[in-house]
Structure formats: structure tokens, C-alpha cells
Structure 1
Amino acid sequence: MEVCCLIRSHNATCLLCPAASIRNSHSKNRIASVIDSISQHATVCGLANDSLETLIDVLATSPCYLDQSSVGSIVKILFPRRKVSENVVVKVVGSLGQGQSKPSLATQALLLRWLVMVYDFLESYDVLSQLYGVLFNLLDMITLRGHLCHILSSLTRRKHVKPFRIQALYVLLLAHKQSLGNEQPLLGLLQVYKDYYPDVIVGEITTARAGVFSHPNIEWMQKLLLIQESNADDYSGPSDTRSSFRIVRKIGGRAMKRQKTNHIAIPEVHTFRSIEASVTLEDVEDVSDFVKKLDKLELPNQLVAVLEDPLLRKLISLKPSDGANLRINNWLAACLSGELDSPSVSDLRSADRTEQFLSRVLEYTRSARRLLPAVEDFLKNYLRAWDGNSHTSTLLGLLCFLPIREFEELHRKFFTLVDCQLNGRDETSTIKLVAFYTELIRQWAITYGNQAQEIEFSEEESLALRNTLSHVGQICLVGLANFPGSNLIADAILCFYEGTCATPWENGLFRIVLPPDQVVYYFVFSGDVMTLSRICGILSKYKRGFELSLRQAQSGHPNGAGEYPRDYVNHFNGFLMDICNLVWRNRAFKWGGSDSKQDQNALGCTLANNVALSLQRAVDEREESLLTLFSLSHSAVLAQFSAECFRMLENANDSEMRGIRHAGPVTQKSLQLLATNGGLKITYSDFRVAVLRALGKKGLGGIWDFMHSTMISLIQLTSGADSSRAASLG
């Protein structure tokens, strides 16, 4: 259907050529019908570059016999399907000017306006930059001047700013003042020139009003965005000024000088007193240009522009400098102490200003991956009067970059102040608090994980990290107690402990800190199979961490921190044994001890004797077994998966059976009886392995990982099965 639309659109486009070049070759109704046909396609699918070129040729025909309303209708539907090619740009610029071979001034103005609207969608700016002189020389055409200034202001780089052009702008401004014309576009362009050479353009110039170079038609722009997003596989959209490799100037009062507005004025990137041989950020055109000039690039005068300019941020990240960091820190210290020293201000405008500024600081901090001392001092003072509501996400985002130091200091200056406002207040606040600590640990792992190979960390730092993890464990415990049954709280806590599993335990700074017993068993008995799988996955990763520590200690690894205390490891093994007893060994709630060979480290899920007896009585009344109540075949969260797995095994071997099917929960005895009666022949061990594999395929791999890393018999069984399967394939 789309191909048919393209063909019809192309045919309709071709029909306009004779209508434009031959007088009265088609009636007005016929032309209107053709334009409508093109519009139906263009407003949905956009126009390919060849169609755009054809239509530009039609409009640039001289003489053109299309009436002005038809010309305007055509320009309105010039929606490019892809990036606008250089050929199209050259045709538009080539149609501008005076002479018999040029279209009417009204048509030229429409085409130039269209070029302004698609400026962010150009395939390349090289040709347009080469045509800079052509465009500048057209500034004496009043009908085109506004849009010409708009394009030139975006296109201008330092190489374009010449003395004769500055003089020409002054002459045009003087002529405008005498004729009382609209001088705003010229003022905007002159301001761009002054930004590049403030020492050449001396004296004060009238500031252009804000928005003088705003987009001519926002609604048209939004429609174009939708067309390109829906039709172009390689769509990248207009270049975002926050991620661009070019310095973009803002035209208007706020960019020119500090005013009493709702914003904190952040200077723009300027390199003053540069000479012809200087290589500045203002000269960078694209990413390739940035890479070529990286070694020669000079830092601008106002380094604090890094808060808003992504290109400067990249430069400082790639060419770090203590002096640059000090300058940025000093500016922030003055600004934060002078304008954001109290969160108690109720003025909404002030709160909005604070949020916007802190967001900029957070963006820079994420880029630099370090918290500047000025920001840390501000947070320390700000949190004392913080209400727990204002700027929560931004403040917590900044706190994630706190460096590791003595836990008592972190707790006194930061953690306590945050915990008091968020811990237990409501479900959402608790989730935010746990998420904050999750991100904090992640940032510490990123920051210190590699450094530990080079720097010997002190025991105090390692202790601070362990104390922080223990502190969060208590917060998690309180969260589960205050909001029982909350899936969101459970997910946040599991995300935290999954994050701790990703820390680099091999470097000695990061040590395993077990969750509180209540947290572990809460998730084991949560009644949700995904939660069970996730806690099993966490514990299996902890097990690998303990094994890594043991290997490092035995091999004398230089970065190792030694073995964990035997009692600590035994307690962890108690978690493993309890879950194995529940799910695999059919020995639920068995306690271990020195006299128990099977359950030596088992904790009995820390159930008190009276509770275990009450459970036993309840199970006896239902004529069931407490020992098997949480096994693969009987557990409320696993029984359905076991039944489905066994049914699939029966279906796969239906030809070998005599219509005999298993009727109830699978046990070792029931399988023996089933095989005797002519049903599926499978051992109980093979069945359970099949269930674990099926759980893994359903995204519940944590249970498989746990059992496979814990049960020696299962490891031997699966390795033997894999070997035999490989042999049969060979």
C-alpha cells in the first residue's frame, strides 16, 4: 500500500512541472487536486529527496505560472522523509536573489522559511557553510533578512566572522534605525558575532529580544518529527543541543546578561582573547572535528558553563585538570552559598530555580563521576532543614556520589538526615530510600572497584562499607515490617541485594554482608515464585563470593582480605541448608547441630520450637507431611510448574505408555508405582532435574543456580547427564 502511495505521489509531483512552466496547461481545480494528492501522502509518509528536488524545481521555475496560494500550499507539505540532502539545500539557496531567472520574492521567502524549519534535519552542514558568503550577501533583501539572520546565527562559526561582515552589519543596522525597520534579527546575528570576538566588537549593543530566532511553526515541526520517527529506520531526529558536538548559542536576554529572573544565570562557553591560531570549542563542527582537535583545544574562560554545555563536559572528562575542577568548585561554592542556602523558602519560583540548578549540577556530577567539595558542603547544610519532599530525586542522586569514608561521619552528616525523612514515612519514600542506597553501593563499586588493584585500602574504609550494608539491612527489615505484602518494597530490597552481588569481591575492599535472617526467610516464604528465584540467585552468588575468598586466602592473593570467620560462613551455610531442605531434600524446618550429619548447619528457618509444633499439628490434621510441604511437587509456588513439567514429559513419551497418567503430586514412591503400572518410566532425581531446567527456561534461573551450586548430588547428576548427552551426539 505504501509503494502505491509513493507511485501516486511521484506521478502527481510530475504533473506539476508542466503546470508551473506552461501557462494555463491545467485548470486551477486540477492543480488543487494534484496538490491535495501529494498532501495526503506527504503528511503521513513524508517526501523522498528526489520528490523534494522536483517540487523545489517546480517552485523555483521562472517564470512560474502557479498562483501564490498554490505555491504556499506546496511549501506547507514539503515534509522530508529522511535527512534533507545537500542537493535540495543548494537548489533552495540557488533560488534566492534578484534577477529574471529567480522566482518571485514571496516564493523565495517561503522557500527560505522552509529551510529554516528543516535546518535541524539537514544531512550535512558543509555545503551550507560554504554558501555562507552567498547568504550573507543577500542580507540587503528586506523580505529575506529575518530568515537569513536566523540561518546565519545557527551556521556562524569563528571562521565566518570577518571585519568586513561586522562593518556590513553595522551599516545595515544604521539604515534600519533611519527607516524604523525591524532590527531584531540583525541584532541577534551581531550578538553571535560579538560572542566570538568580544574584543573586536567593542561597546554595548542593544540586546535582541528573547525568541527572535524561535522556530517559525512548532506544529509543523512536531508533525515532521512524527513522520520521520515512523518512517525512517535510521531516524536520529534533530540534533539535541544538550548532546550535540557543537556549541549552540541562545539568543535573548537570559543568555546575554544576568537578570532578575526565575533562573540562576549560568555563563555560556566563550574563549576570549583567542588568536587566529587558537583552537577553541567554538570551532568544533561535529564529532570527527572534535576528535581531530582534541589535543589542541583550549579551555574556555567560563568553565562553569560545563553545567549546561555537553561539549565542554566531554572535553573536561577527556582532558582532566585539577585547576579546572578548582575553578568550577569555587564558582559553585559562591553560587550555592549565596542563592541556595536554605530549603525553607516557600516561594514556588525559588523552589523551581533550585530544582533546575541542582539538576544541572547532578548532570555534571554524573559525567565527572565525583562530587565536588562545594556540592558536598551544600548537601550537608541543606539536609539539616530538608522536609523530605523538595528536590528528593535530585538530592538523592547527588548523595549517590559521596566518597567512602568513616561510617560514623557518613551516618551523622548524611544518612541519618535522609533516613529520618524517608524511612517508614510511606511506601514510596521507603522505596526511594532503598533505591538511593542501591545506587550508592553501585557507584562505590564503579569508583573503587578498579582502584583497589593499585591502592591499598585501609581497614576503616572496608569497615565503613560493611557498616553501610548492615545499616541498609536494618532499613530493609523495617520496610518489610511496616509494609507487609508490598511487592514494590520487596522488589526494591531484592534489587539492593542483587546490586551487592555485583560488587568486585576479589579486590579486598568489598566484603559480603549477609541480609538479616528475617529478610532472607521473608522472601523464601513470600508465596511468589519470582521472589523465591531472586533470593536463591542472590544466595548462590554469595556462595561463589565465599568460595572466591577461600581460594584467594589459600593462594596468598595480594588483594584478598582473607577468609571470612568460620561462624559467619556456617551461618550462611545454614541459609543454604534450610532452602535445600525445603525444596530438594524433603526435610523442612530441620535443625542442625554437631550430632546431625545431614543437617549440620541447618537453622530450621529460625522457627521457634512452639511455632514448629503448631505447624506440625496443623499439617497432621490435613493428613499431610510437613517435611515435604515446600518441596518441588508440593510447594504452593512450585507445584504447578512441577505438574506442567511432568505432563510435558508424559506427552513427549506418550507412545511408550499404555494410557497410564500420573494423577497427583510426584513423589519417589508414586513414580515407582507409575512405572510398574506401565506409565512413564523416570527416576525421581531425573524428574526434579527436569523441573529445575523448566524453571530456568521460564526465567526462574535463580532456583536452578542455587540448587546446582549447592547440592553435590545434583552437580554430579547433571554433569553425568550432560556428558552422556554429548557422547550420544558425538
Structure 2
Amino acid sequence: MAPPDSSELSGLLDDIEAAAKLPAKRRKTPIKPTVERATTLLYERGALPDELSRLVDLVTIRSQLDQASLGSIIRNLYPLAKVPDDVVLRVVGALGHGHLKPSLAIQGLLLRWLVMVYHLLENTSILSQTYGVLFNLLDTAAIRPQLCHLLALITRRKHVRPFRIQEILGLSRQTGSDPALTGLLRVFKNYYPEIIVGQVTRGRAAAFKHPDLQWRERLEEIRNQHVEHQDDGIRNGFAVNHVLARQMRGSKLGGLPVVHTLHAQENSVTLEEIDSAETLAKNLEKIELPTQLVAILADPLLQKLLLLRPDAEAFERIENWLRACIDDVAGGDAEPSSLLDLVEILHEFVLSTKILPRILLFFFEALLRIWDGREKRDAIVETLSFVPLLDYGHLRTQLFQPLENSLLDNTPESQLVLLKFYTLLLRRWIILVRASPKANPAARDSIHDLISHVNNLALTLTQTSPKASTYLSILDFYQSCASLFSHRQILEHVEITIPPALLVYILQFSNSQAVLSRLCSTLAVYKRAWEAVMLPPAKRQLTRREREQINTFNGFLMDLCNCLWRERAFSTTDLNAQGCRIPPPLVPSLSGYVRAIDADLHLTALFGLSHSPVVCLQSISYVRELEDNDDEVATRHAGPVTQMSLAQLTTRGGLRLTWQEYRLGVLQHLEKQGFPGVPELMYNTMKNLMKGK
């Protein structure tokens, strides 16, 4: 449905307002077709606030319009927004006797309309302020049934006074126990049963049911369609989600209760009355919890209420409902697929609250036993990423292993989904560790065990899907690890766990500049974390597991610097250098192969800034920029750049550039091009660059 177009209805209202000032005989054209078109539009898409105000003026101010037209307008008065106070006051002001008042039939329809839109009033207390005016109209028989219904809705203890009781009793005797008056008297008796006694309230009484349920359903349909085109309204999370209630009706999720408050007290406020953040804050302590608290799974407003005002008994009732669902499946009273039907609702609940309660862990343990690994996969994976930071061994047995068994199907796609899950999980755990004022006892071992497990998964992915997109997904995980270790307060109680050596070298020699840059950036953060733990003022000693890793990590740094900066690829003569784990007998063979291709090439320089397959384009681009900006250059460098070629270039009228200036310039160029990883690692590792930086 398209959003309401107010131009057509506005033009029709202009015609109707003009006709309302003229007697029917003086009009050039009949007005009934215009009224019919206007009411049709109102039925199809409702009335915006300005339109509602104009329509109320039409039906409350005495005019030349016929009763049928006025009645048709009132019966199709579907407000799209909250009904403001001034509209309510104009309707109340139109009630009663007088030459300028609408007819009693129209007044009855207006009162009936107030009853039907009572839940949409911007300020329900406005009718309470007019209680005396409304009560004094009870002697008007033509509008008494609708008036009693409205008074029954707004009556509170403060309105029940002895003189009003006597007035109703007197009217009841005069009218022969009018059912509407008897019904209102019963409302009064609820507040003062010790005063109102006898046979007077035992007669036939009005039930005060909704005057027109079909009208109410149509109103909800129109408002829900309107909300789909708005950014505010009930989708702002500060109103009860009636849309979801309608969507679930008749579906497999029909058993999930919606927000509905029974037995509310006089001084309490129901959740259904809240419509904004302001009213929620104002009435936070007075809000009555709804009857079925499990509606929290689907209603954002109830979620906010229980987060701001926690209630242990409320959460226990929610757990009991979910446990009953699981027991029904286990006992054969419900189909296993019914658990899957709840996944979308639980997914929205967890995303809204950022909490996965322990009862939901129990729920997903049961669900994973029957899950095929495909249906609603994204929702399940994202929901489980909010698993709290608990003992890893328990989580591995109860959740992670069943998840992997269902998810993995011997394809790289399923492995990538699993990697994404562990990446999201680690990010949630980082948030929990940073937010907690106290150290979590499970953090140290659980985070280490999680990273160690993903190490194996990452190595598997480099074999099953050796491409840049896979490597970048792997680096997503390790960059999250690095961000965890970059916080000194976390390092006080969390161990550093590095990626496996084989994985680092596979990523180093990938054909993607983005992969190399992000790898270097990640290792630079790791290096700063090691320094925070090892150098003063470190607040703890290295653990045994950390001491076993430190030499391996230093080997990563030395090998990368040897390849990229020092042009000593695969060297093992330096302290901690591991030669990129290339078998020593293989190095002479590779070197001979390179010399056979080009006698001027050396294996040790092939992975430097000038010759590296992933960096060489940026290196020569930097030189080209310098040449383009120098008008005195007579000879351009053919590339690739070496220390010797720069010296020769100067004598032939080319750039005057030293080897050190060239390498520093390439690092700056890489930063400008959006690849800061290599410069960051070099500046954090090479001592001579540290001083220059």
C-alpha cells in the first residue's frame, strides 16, 4: 500500500466545507458524491492529524450538511495518529442541548467514536478532566447508552462521589433500571462495594463491549499499513507491538502470548498505555507487568521495561514457559519443528536485549539435536553468538560441538559460516570483558581455548578455500583478537594467544595487498600487547603458555622485516629468524632457479618493497609520482628500484633519491593509498625507523 496522499482528500474537504455553509437548494452541485468519495478515502487509508481536525469541525459545528453525510463521516473517522486533546475537547463541547449543538443522533455517534478511539487518545486524562460535564448529561436519554460506556471507561476512584451515586440511583428508578445506568453503577460499586448495596445492581446491565469490532480491526489494519511507511510510530520500540500480534494470529507462533494486562490497579499504568520514551520514563515504577510475561520474546517495549526494572520472578515465569515448550517436544506432545518456529522470535529478542539467558542455552541445546544445519541458519548462528562467557569446555560439549556437527557439510561455505560465528562470539566476549568491572574467572582459559580452536579452523580454510576473500575473513577473527589484547586492563587477566605460524606465512605470501596490509597491522597490535606485558610497568608475569609463544612471534616479525625491508628473505642467521619455515635444503634450489631466469635477480630481494608481487605496483607508482612532479628529470626509472639502480639513475639525469628515502617514501605512499599495515609494522619493529617516526 502506498503512503497516504493528502492532496485528494484535502480538495474534497474544501468542497465539503464550502457546501456546509450553504443550504442544499443553493448548491450548484450535489454534495453527497463528494462525501461518499471522502469517506471511501478515509476507509482506505485513514485521516492524518490535520485532516482529523477539519473533519471533527465539520461534524461538531452545526452546519447545512444532512444527517446522513455527517453520520457517514463519523463512521469512517479512522485516526492515523494519536488523537490530540483539542479534538477531544471539541467533541465533548459539542454534547448537550442547544440550537448550535449537533443533533442527538450525531452526538451519540460522536460518543461512540470516543469510546472506539479511547486507546488512541494522546492524553487519556483529558476526559477525566471533563468528567463532570459528561456526567451531567446522563439525563439525556438519546445519548445515555454511549455516555455510560464512556464514563465506565474513564471512571476512577476519585470520580465516585455520594452525590453521583444518588444521581444514578434516582435516574435508574425513573427509567425502570436502565441497563446502561445499571452497568455504570456496577463500575461505581467496584470502588465502594460497602456503600452501594441492595437489589439495584442485580438487574439487567449493559456489558459495555466494544461497539464495533470490525471497525476496530479496520482501524488496526490502516494504522499498521501507515506505520510501514514511517520511521516513528510503534516501530520506535516504545509502544506495544500490536503488528506482531496480528501477524502471529493463526500462524504456527499463535501460541506465543502478546502483551495484555489484566487486573490493573487504579494507580498503576498498563504497558499498553505507553507510547513514547518520555511516558516510559515518567511511569517506569508504576507500570503494571502484563499477564503473560513470555510476551517479552516478541515485544520491544516489554524488553525495555524488564531491562530497566529487572524482576527475578518475571524471568522465572519466562523460563518456565520455554521449558514447557521443550518438554512438550521431548514428551511427544508437540512437533520438533515447533522449536524452529520460535527461532525468529528469539533472534529478535536477543538482538534487542543483547542477552542470551541461560534458559535459551537449554533451548538451543534441544534445538541443535534436531536441526538440519540449513533452515534459519543465519538467525541461529547470530543468536548463539551472544552466548555468555562461561567455561569453554562446557560450552564446547553442550553447544559448539552440536552446532558444528549440524552446520559442517564438508564445504568451504559451511566452514566460513562457522568462522563467522566464532568471530561474532569473540567480539561479544570482548564487550563483556571490557564492560565488567571485575575479572571473569572463565575469561582466561575460555578465550585461549576459543582462539586455539579457531586456529585449526583457519588452517583448514586455507586449504579448502585458498583465496583472498577467505583470508580476509580469517583476518577478521585475528583482528578481533588483537583488539582484545590492545587493552592493558584486560591483559592483566587474559593471556595472549597468537595465530599459528603456518597460517601467518600463508597469509604473508598471498596475492592480495589487502591481506598483507591487514596481517601486518594485526601483528603490530600483537607486538604492542607483548610489550605491555613484558616491559615496565607490567602488572603480571608471562604465563607458561605465553613464554612458549614469544620466540615464535618474534620469528614472524623478523621474517616479515627480512622479506619486505631488509631484502634478506628466508634468512635464518638473525636472532629468532625462522626463514619463513622454508626447509633449508630448498633455499639453494630456489635461488639457483631465480638466477637461471635472470642473473641480476636474487631470491632474497624478490619479496622486498620493489619486487614483491603485491607491493611492487605501489612502489613504482610512488617513483612515477616523484618523476611527474619534477620538471628537471631527464631520465625516468625503468623499474624495479634497487639501491644500485638509484645510484646509476642520478648520474643519468634522473631522480636524486637515496635508497632510504625511497623506502620511507613507499611506506608513506602505502598509507595514503589505504594500506597502512606494512608501514605500521615497520615503524613498530625496525629500530632505525622507530627513531625516525
Whether these two folds match at TM > 0.5 is: yes
Residue identity in the other structure for 2:424: E
Percent of matched pairs sharing the same residue: 29
Partner of 1:646: 623
Deviation at 1:712, TM superposition (A): 2.0
Paired residues of 2:326 and 2:366 also in contact (CA < 8 A): no
Partner of 1:175: none
Q: 1:478 aligns with which of 457, 460, 464?
A: 460
Q: 1:693 aligns with which of 650, 664, 668?
A: 668
Q: What CA distance in whole angstroms lies between the structure 2 residues aligned with 1:403 and 1:563?
A: 27
Deviations 1:22-46 (A, max 9, x none): 579997699999xx9xxxxxx9xx9
Matched, 1:576 2:557: yes
Deviations 1:669-700 (A, max 9, x none): 33333344444333333333333233223332
Q: What CA distance in whole angstroms lies between the structure 1 residues aligned with 2:290 and 2:612?
A: 66
Partner of 1:725: none
Deviation at 1:244, TM superposition (A): 1.7
Q: What CA distance in whole angstroms lies between the structure 1 residues aligned with 2:238 and 2:158?
A: 22
- Closer, same or farther: CA 591–91 of 1 in aligned 2, 3 Å: farther
Deviation at 1:331, TM superposition (A): 2.9
Partner of 1:244: 238
Partner of 2:482: 501
Q: 2:318 aligns with which of 309, 325, 328?
A: 328
Q: What CA distance in whole angstroms lies between the structure 1 residues aligned with 2:308 and 2:654?
A: 69
- Closer, same or farther: CA 486–647 of 1 in aligned 2, 3 Å: closer
User: What SS does the aligned partner of 1:601 have?
Assistant: coil
User: What SS does the aligned partner of 2:422 have?
Assistant: helix
Deviations 1:422-448 (A, max 9, x none): 335323322221111112222222223
User: What SS does the aligned partner of 2:369 have?
Assistant: helix
Paired residues of 1:340 and 1:354 also in contact (CA < 8 A): no
- Closer, same or farther: CA 18–296 of 1 in aligned 2, 3 Å: closer
- Closer, same or farther: CA 251–397 of 1 in aligned 2, 3 Å: closer
Partner of 2:567: 586
- Closer, same or farther: CA 108–539 of 1 in aligned 2, 3 Å: farther
Deviations 1:52-110 (A, max 9, x none): 867886898764679999x999x99x999x99987678778988999976899999999
Q: What CA distance in whole angstroms lies between the structure 1 residues aligned with 2:68 and 2:209?
A: 36
Deviation at 1:157, TM superposition (A): 9.0
Q: 1:527 aligns with which of 505, 511, 518?
A: 511
Partner of 2:196: none
- Closer, same or farther: CA 52–362 of 1 in aligned 2, 3 Å: closer
Deviation at 1:571, TM superposition (A): 0.7
Deviation at 1:702, TM superposition (A): 2.3
User: What SS does the aligned partner of 2:233 have?
Assistant: coil
1:267-416 equivalences under 5 Å are 268-270=259-261, 272=263, 274-278=264-268, 281=271, 284-295=274-285, 297=287, 299-339=289-329, 351=337, 353-366=338-351, 369-416=354-401
Paired residues of 2:496 and 2:546 also in contact (CA < 8 A): no
- Closer, same or farther: CA 50–574 of 1 in aligned 2, 3 Å: same
Q: What CA distance in whole angstroms lies between the structure 2 residues aligned with 1:536 and 1:475?
A: 21
Q: What CA distance in whole angstroms lies between the structure 2 residues aligned with 1:293 and 1:666?
A: 72
1:19-418 equivalences under 5 Å are 21=21, 63=63, 213-216=216-219, 226=229, 236-240=231-235, 243-245=237-239, 262-266=253-257, 268-270=259-261, 272=263, 274-278=264-268, 281=271, 284-295=274-285, 297=287, 299-339=289-329, 351=337, 353-366=338-351, 369-418=354-403
Q: What CA distance in whole angstroms lies between the structure 2 residues aligned with 1:83 and 1:680?
A: 74
Higher deviation after alignment, 217-226 or 307-316: 217-226
Paired residues of 1:505 and 1:511 also in contact (CA < 8 A): no
Paired residues of 2:49 and 2:79 also in contact (CA < 8 A): no
User: What SS does the aligned partner of 2:216 have?
Assistant: coil
Residue identity in the other structure for 1:627: T
User: What SS does the aligned partner of 1:627 have?
Assistant: helix
User: What SS does the aligned partner of 1:213 have?
Assistant: helix
Deviations 1:367-403 (A, max 9, x none): 5555444333333344334322244334334433444
Partner of 1:492: 473
Partner of 2:692: 717
Q: 1:620 aligns with which of 591, 595, 599?
A: 595
Q: What CA distance in whole angstroms lies between the structure 2 residues aligned with 1:254 and 1:428?
A: 33
- Closer, same or farther: CA 370–659 of 1 in aligned 2, 3 Å: same
Paired residues of 1:245 and 1:285 also in contact (CA < 8 A): yes
User: What SS does the aligned partner of 1:555 have?
Assistant: coil
Deviation at 1:542, TM superposition (A): 1.0
Deviations 1:297-342 (A, max 9, x none): 5555543332233233223222334444333323322222224778
Q: What CA distance in whole angstroms lies between the structure 2 residues aligned with 1:693 and 1:340?
A: 64
Q: What CA distance in whole angstroms lies between the structure 2 residues aligned with 1:263 and 1:280?
A: 23
Residue identity in the other structure for 2:626: L
Paired residues of 1:79 and 1:224 also in contact (CA < 8 A): no
Q: What CA distance in whole angstroms lies between the structure 2 residues aligned with 1:530 and 1:107?
A: 74
User: What SS does the aligned partner of 2:610 have?
Assistant: coil
Paired residues of 1:537 and 1:706 also in contact (CA < 8 A): yes
Deviation at 1:605, TM superposition (A): 1.8
Unmatched 5+ stretches in structure 1? 37-42, 169-189, 230-235, 719-730
Paired residues of 2:356 and 2:387 also in contact (CA < 8 A): yes
Higher deviation after alignment, 697-706 or 209-218: 209-218
Paired residues of 1:157 and 1:282 also in contact (CA < 8 A): no
Q: What CA distance in whole angstroms lies between the structure 2 residues aligned with 1:297 and 1:467?
A: 45
Report the aligned-residue RMSD: 5.9
TM-score by length of 2: 0.72
Deviations 1:479-528 (A, max 9, x none): 221222262x3333221112222225633342222222232222222211
Q: What CA distance in whole angstroms lies between the structure 1 residues aligned with 2:584 and 2:228?
A: 68
- Closer, same or farther: CA 127–293 of 1 in aligned 2, 3 Å: closer
Paired residues of 2:501 and 2:552 also in contact (CA < 8 A): no
Matched, 1:663 2:638: yes
- Closer, same or farther: CA 712–238 of 1 in aligned 2, 3 Å: same
Q: What CA distance in whole angstroms lies between the structure 1 residues aligned with 2:268 and 2:566?
A: 75
Deviation at 1:162, TM superposition (A): 8.7
- Closer, same or farther: CA 390–31 of 1 in aligned 2, 3 Å: closer
Residue identity in the other structure for 2:465: F
Paired residues of 2:637 and 2:654 also in contact (CA < 8 A): yes
Partner of 1:550: 534
Matched length: 646
